[in-house]
Structure 1
Amino acid sequence: MALVVVGACVIVALMHNLGAAPQPPGDELATDQVPYGWQVSKDVGTTFTDGLNLVTVTPKARGPLRLISARPLMDEGGSVRVLGVLARVNPDMLPPGANVGSFQEGTGFPPAQPHAAGAVPIKGLKVQPPQQGESRWIELQIGYEVVGLGRSVRRGVELVYEYEGAQHKAFIPSYVAVCAPAAITCAPEYDK
């Protein structure tokens, strides 16, 4: 009888955690990033990848993180459409011979440049913590298509992941402004 009661309590606790709102990150991620950003002007029909969406995994993590989703926080501008999001763990998933662990902009989505290769779909990707003295970070590659004239803005990226049995949500303060057509100057969304 005691095993049945304990088993029922465990099931109830697990079901409660599944419905719980994600928690903020702990010391497994470096979340003290200074906001950063860039801007670009493109013609309608252009596809590109923004690769400068980074978060550092710290040696304080006691186990792996399992990525669940990432969501660009877009405004209502409507000049771009999000094509998808891929993730790459650096330096572990860099392609052979690559010595650059991140990039700002790539052609197409997924990005066409060899140094930007190696990213995979986010859902289920496991990220091991680094050892003391090592660096490891998650690079989110966000694909966009320019679908209309005007200006669209992303004001950060939300990353949802599982760590030690609980869901967490981190905010990456990565800004980008996209303007169309390519002939116009695009004002930055974030000034340093």
Structure 2
Amino acid sequence: MNTDMTKSYSRLNLYCKFMALLTAIPILAMLIGSLSPLLFYFFDITNIGLDSGGYSFFISGALDDVDPKTLSLWQATLATLIDTLSILILAYAFYQLRLLFLNYSQSEYFSEKSSNHCYIFGKMLVIWSIFGILSEPLLTFILTFNRDPAERYISFSFTGDDVMTLFPAISIMLIGQILKKACQIAEENKQFI
């Protein structure tokens, strides 16, 4: 019986190591993709090889009619910072997920460190989702600022995708907090024994 459990744990540890390795792929893609807004807003390069042609998924889809050549320096700079920040928030969330899998691969299933990584992963997903919702009106305002007053606009959207991201993100964040509390209670119980 004990050997079956050991095999199960070692297999689970291997799966977690594999997931930690796999999680590095989106992190690297996002770090490379963080150059995409800079290349788009300053050099009008829309494809750096990380999408299927055209407007990269790393750049906010707030405006389809943006001509980067017409943007002033401050507009291009702010738009680049906003889009890059969005990418880096998501990359950091995946980095926390990677750290969580690395802890799990070392059998640290119920440690406070692991629960913190779970909580931060969920929190960063919530921040990323809310930032995406709030950055769209800001980006549309910035990018249409130099247009004629009749052509300026502010776009805001809240879609089912936003809900589908927020709900699991908040759930993961709460699970992280619950695991952290469970670890604290388990530590207190160890002190009584």
TM over 0.5: no
TM-score (norm 2): 0.26
Higher share in strand: 1
Q: Whose radius of gyration is greater, 1 or 2?
A: 2
Higher share in helix: 2
TM-score (norm 1): 0.26
Higher relative contact order (CA 8 A, sep 6+): 1
